[in-house]
């Protein structure tokens, strides 16, 4: 299933250049970009002199427990990982990206990715083409008394679901000498271009010169350092003695990939749209994938359980383990019949609810138990999402006047109040461009015409980047005066944009979830259905008076001032405001029609050409989204 999905991705990428919709590589990493604003998220607090072998990290477990009381460097450490940074138990730096989405058929659930971005998800140097980029350096390791034949092994993959490295890019492995210098001992390049490639195993021997207390190794990559480029995925790093060059097999059955969707259409949906319509919204089944990394059949049992997240109510008791014989090097899907959330569950009558899935496998004779459990949260807040929150690519439309419409469905009447959009960095900041936020209750999904019925349109909006949690910017449905104008939705509705310039608007695109059948676009003529496999990261919020995301944009305007003079005015209107960013002045007549727009470099607007009457001035701070409004009268 996943291999077929990867093939479809490759086919779509090739075809995208011939259509009016395109996929583009990301310039930034939104998950890392946001972390610089979270205090303590990068802090590595664990300390020990040296680690003992075996050294193993497969980037799958958030909780690491190491008990080495009987060893030369023994102690016990319990470490909770940060989730997106390398574990401080094993690694000394934070530049590489731990994730669950870039690897294609990895040996275990989770990989670490080296790219062209720093620890904050920003380019190392936007002005430079290629240079050394990420480093992943081990903590010191005790190798003073190995028994025999020490090898470092790891799986590696160019590209995966990210961008494929160019021929001039490389993945590098260095060993540290006892005098502190580093020696390159292995490297790899991508010679197959954008062709899909499986993970390969590297086996690197250590000679006696590295047998000392405090040995370290590091991975580096030579990459395009001006964006989210040239991905190398690494998994299952193992350093141990008593190995040979042929020690390439691991008796390890591991969970891989995210769980298949609990919901039929969405990754997340509003609780009030789900709880009374569960039979219609549930997928036929749910479950997880597991992979046998060994060359013999392994008997493996699997089970799962479900609890309400906060009160701990048991929704599905631990199921009886089901055993299967898993063939060598085979991907298997553990499928379970779906279930409804009972009305007796704590929080059922509230405005949101979250449940936790716990999937467990128990392979016979397994050598690594860390990757045998997967915990997954299914949240029901007040928004719809086809995506999983991580962008691997960026989606864009070609052409002035292009329209994007994403289909959603309200099972019962509700109010649409906000739209969350994850704008993706590709080729610089696009906050100087304009688009119109659009809501339709009907478009021609037969693709025979351009017919549509617009129920909301807000013009002269601009993209905003990483201004709220997870990189989604909140656009409130307001009129040109800034007053809330929620839209009643019932049944089918569509959310998207109208772009007012040729230049690309780049929005996040999740390649691990497919919602292409819900995406329509119009670049002139009839509506068309998307041919790109994935999910565009636009989320409408319905019901409730709270936002899942930070309150930003127009709400901040209350902290600022705006005054104008003279009023009434005949020729030049002078503007004084506490807003300090780049300003756009917009003037509307009494009907709400835009009659004038100017950049606010001189804090004055010529209104001589306007007819006498009543007008509204709207001042937009483009860098923050703050909006201030004042009324004035134009004299003859």
Convert the pLDDT of each residue in 534-545 to its tens digit: 999 999 999 865
Is 120 strand, coil or helix?
coil
Q: CA 585 → CA 37, 64, 463, 574, 588, distances in Å?
A: 31, 55, 17, 11, 10
Cis peptide before 566 (omega within 30 of 0): yes
488: pLDDT strictly greater than 60: yes
Q: Which residue has the higher pLDDT, 589 or 336?
A: 336
Residue in 85, 14, 20, 13 with CA at minimum distance from that of residue 46 = 85
Give the pLDDT of residue 27.
58
Q: What is the pTM of this model?
A: 0.76
Answer for the pair 516, 531: CB distance below 8 angstroms, yes or no. Answer: yes
Q: Which domains does the chain have, with CATH numbers?
A: 27-248 (2.60.120.260), 254-380 (2.60.40), 393-551 (2.60.120), 555-634 (2.60.40.10)
Q: How far apart are CA 226 and CA 480, in angstroms?
A: 38
Q: Which helix (H) or strand (E) holds 64?
A: strand 63-67
The pairing of beta strand 76-80 with beta strand 452-461:
unpaired
Q: Which residue has the higher pLDDT, 80 or 163?
A: 163
Matching residue, tokens 């990206």: 97
Structure tokens, 77: 């450490």
The pairing of beta strand 150-158 with beta strand 141-142:
unpaired
Q: How far apart are CA 129 and CA 223, in angstroms?
A: 8
CA dihedral of 242, 248, 253, 258, whole degrees rounded to 10: 120
Matching residue, tokens 């936007």: 126
Q: Sorting pLDDT into bands at 50, 70 and 90, what band is 32?
A: low
> Which H, E and C letters describe 44-110, residue by residue?
CCCCCCCECCCEEECCCCCEEEEECCCCCCCCEEEEECCCCCCCCCCECCCCCEEECCCCCCCCCCC
Is 629 strand, coil or helix?
strand
Contact residues for 409 (Cβ-Cβ < 8 A; gap 6+): 265, 491, 492, 493
503: pLDDT strictly greater than 60: yes
Q: Sorting pLDDT into bands at 50, 70 and 90, what band is 67?
A: very low
Give the pLDDT of residue 517.
97
Answer for the pair 183, 93: CB distance below 8 angstroms, yes or no. Answer: no
Structure tokens, 574: 């002078």
Structure tokens, 209: 């010169």
> Which H, E and C letters describe 543-592, residue by residue?
CCCCCCCCCCHHHHHHHCCEEEECCCECCEEEEEECCCCCEEEEEEECCC
First to last CA, the chain: 71
Contact residues for 274 (Cβ-Cβ < 8 A; gap 6+): 263, 281, 380, 411
Matching residue, tokens 């670490």: 112
Residues 298-356 pLDDT 10s = 999 999 999 999 899 999 999 999 999 999 999 999 999 999 999 999 999 998 999 99
Give the pLDDT of residue 29.
66
Residues 371-408 pLDDT 10s = 898 888 999 999 999 999 888 889 999 888 999 999 99
| Count of C-beta atoms within a 10 Å radius of residue 5 | 15
Q: Sorting pLDDT into bands at 50, 70 and 90, what band is 65?
A: very low
């Amino acid at each position: 299933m996943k291999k077929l999905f990867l093939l479809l991705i490759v086919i779509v990428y090739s075809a995208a250049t011939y259509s009016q919709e395109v996929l583009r590589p990301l310039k930034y990493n939104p998950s890392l970009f946001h972390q610089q604003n979270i205090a303590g998220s990068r802090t590595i607090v664990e300390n020990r002199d040296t680690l003992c072998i075996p050294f193993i990290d497969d980037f799958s477990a958030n909780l690491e427990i190491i008990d080495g009381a009987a060893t030369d460097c023994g102690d016990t450490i319990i470490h909770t990982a940060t989730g997106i940074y390398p574990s401080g138990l094993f690694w000394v730096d934070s530049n590489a990206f731990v994730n669950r989405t870039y690897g294609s058929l990895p040996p275990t659930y989770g990989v670490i990715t080296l790219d062209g971005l720093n620890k904050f998800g920003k380019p190392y140097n936007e002005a430079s083409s290629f240079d050394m980029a990420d480093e992943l350096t081990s903590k010191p390791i005790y190798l003073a008394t190995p028994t025999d034949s020490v090898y470092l092994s790891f799986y590696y993959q160019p590209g995966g679901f990210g961008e494929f490295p160019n021929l001039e890019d490389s993945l590098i492995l260095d060993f540290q000498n006892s005098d502190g210098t580093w020696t390159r001992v292995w490297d790899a390049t991508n010679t197959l271009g954008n062709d899909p490639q499986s993970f390969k195993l590297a086996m690197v021997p250590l000679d006696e010169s590295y047998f000392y207390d405090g040995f370290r190794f590091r991975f580096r990559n030579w990459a395009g350092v001006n964006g989210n480029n040239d991905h190398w995925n690494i998994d299952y790093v193992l350093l141990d003695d008593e190995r040979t060059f042929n020690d390439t097999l691991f008796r390890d059955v591991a969970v891989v990939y995210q769980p298949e969707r609990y919901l039929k259409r969405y990754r997340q949906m509003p609780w009030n749209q789900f709880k009374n319509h569960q039979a219609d919204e549930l997928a036929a089944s749910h479950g997880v994938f597991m992979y046998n990394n060994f060359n013999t059949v392994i008997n493996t049992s699997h089970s799962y359980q479900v609890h309400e997240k906060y009160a701990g109510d048991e929704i599905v008791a631990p199921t009886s383990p089901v055993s299967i014989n898993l063939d060598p090097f085979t991907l298997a899907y553990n499928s379970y019949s779906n279930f409804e959330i009972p009305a007796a569950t704590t929080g059922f009558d509230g405005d949101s609810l979250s449940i936790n899935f716990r999937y467990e496998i128990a392979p016979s004779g397994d050598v690594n138990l860390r990757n045998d459990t997967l915990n997954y949260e299914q949240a029901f807040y007040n928004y719809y999402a086809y995506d999983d929150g991580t962008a691997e690519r960026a989606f864009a439309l070609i052409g002035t006047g292009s329209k994007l419409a994403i289909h959603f469905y309200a099972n019962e009447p509700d109010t649409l109040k906000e739209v969350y959009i994850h704008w993706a960095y590709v080729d610089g900041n696009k906050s100087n461009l304009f688009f119109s936020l659009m809501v339709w209750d009907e478009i021609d999904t037969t693709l025979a015409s351009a017919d549509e019925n617009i129920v909301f349109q807000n013009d002269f909006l601009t993209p905003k980047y990483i201004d709220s949690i997870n990189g989604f910017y909140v656009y409130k449905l307001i009129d040109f005066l800034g007053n809330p104008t929620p839209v009643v939705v019932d049944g089918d509705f569509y959310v998207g944009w109208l772009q007012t310039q040729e230049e690309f608007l780049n929005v996040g695109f999740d390649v691990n979830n497919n919602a292409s059948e819900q995406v329509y676009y119009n670049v002139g003529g009839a509506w068309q259905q998307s041919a790109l496999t994935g999910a565009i990261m636009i989320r409408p919020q319905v019901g409730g008076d709270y936002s899942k995301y930070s309150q930003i944009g127009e709400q901040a305007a209350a902290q600022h001032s705006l005054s104008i003079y003279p009023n009434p005015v005949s020729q030049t209107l002078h503007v004084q405001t506490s807003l300090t960013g780049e300003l756009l002045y917009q003037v509307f007549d009494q009907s709400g029609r835009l009659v004038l727009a100017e950049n606010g470099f001189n804090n004055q607007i010529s209104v001589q050409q306007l007819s006498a009457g009543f007008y509204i001035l709207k001042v937009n701070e483009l860098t923050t989204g703050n909006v201030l409004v004042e009324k004035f009268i134009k004299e003859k």
